[in-house]
Amino acid sequence: MPYTLRSLIATTLLALSFSNVLAQGYEATIRKNLSERIPQIPKIEEITRTPLAGIYELRLSTNEIYYSDAEGNFLIQGNLIDTKSKRNLTEERETKLSAIDFNTLPLKDAITFVHGNGKRKLAVFEDPNCGYCKRFERDLAKVDNVTVYLFLMPVLGPGSVEKSRNVWCAKDPAAAWTNLMQKDVPPAAAQCSTAAIDRNLDFGRKYKITGTPTLVAQDGTRVPGAINSAQVEKLLADATK
């Protein structure tokens, strides 16, 4: 191997090694200083460089995004905006972090609705006593050609647990849910195993689904809160691009 090529490779490896040492250095410093100065800060799961020189992204165990200098002397909370491309880098990162792989959804624990040809897919986590969920359901009824997987998530108290059980255990759970959410007709009392609902709650805790409705599109995009039919259409279209 020519001497100059060996020298180039050696120099490159040395530079990479030095870069790794520096990376380990600032990560350790940030973690140490912030944990000592702000003991209540959630666990820092990941530290990465940002396009802004000297500023580092901190991903916390809560999936919140903060920013810091290399020594943890300053902690920044807010949005990092790329003014050239007009992109909200913080929002893009949060969207990526909150995504749920659609293939991991336990569809056997959901109530399935097929609108039209059902080619598009959407998962929804809802509480039967959630007013925003009722508004969302009325808008969702206007969306065609989609398969909706409804995961019952009773988080608003004992009344929600009872209604969820009665819907899940009904002879026709889909009809029972539609009558409840769109017509305010409560489901008849029913009994059966509600292990699926318990698994839904466990899934929600695992993926930090803290409110209803929460939507998950086919590409994993998560949307918290009620959105109208036009917004649902856009979500579905974006997910299949």
DSSP per residue, 25-89? HHHHHHHHHHHHH-TTSPPEEEEEE-SSTT-EEEEETTS-EEEE-TTSS-EE-S--EETTTTEEH
Q: Is the pTM of this model over 0.85?
A: no
Q: Residue 145 forms beta bridges with which residues?
A: none
One-letter identity of residue 215 = L
Instruction: List where CATH 3.10.450.70 sits in the chain.
Output: 3-98
Q: Which CATH architecture has domain 3-98?
A: Roll (3.10)
Q: Give the pLDDT confidence of 195-239 residue by residue, as tens digits.
A: 999 999 999 998 889 899 999 999 999 999 999 999 999 999 999
* pLDDT value at 2 more than 70: no
CATH topology classification for 102-239: Glutaredoxin (3.40.30)
Average pLDDT over residues 131-135: 96
Helices (H) and strands (E) in the chain, counts: 7, 11
Residue 104, C-beta contacts closer than 8 angstroms, at least 6 positions apart = none
Domain with CATH 3.40.30.10 in the chain: 102-239
Label residue 97 by pLDDT band (50, 70, 90). confident
Radius of gyration in angstroms for the set of CA atoms belonging to the chain, rounded to a whole number: 24
The model's pLDDT over 21-30, given as tens digits with 9 standing for 90+, comes to: 345 678 999 9
Distance from C-alpha of 199 to C-alpha of 80, rounded to nearest angstrom: 37
Question: What pLDDT, on the 0 to 100 scale, is given for residue 21?
Answer: 39
Q: What torsion, rounded to 10 degrees, do the Cα atoms 50, 56, 61, 62 define? A: -70
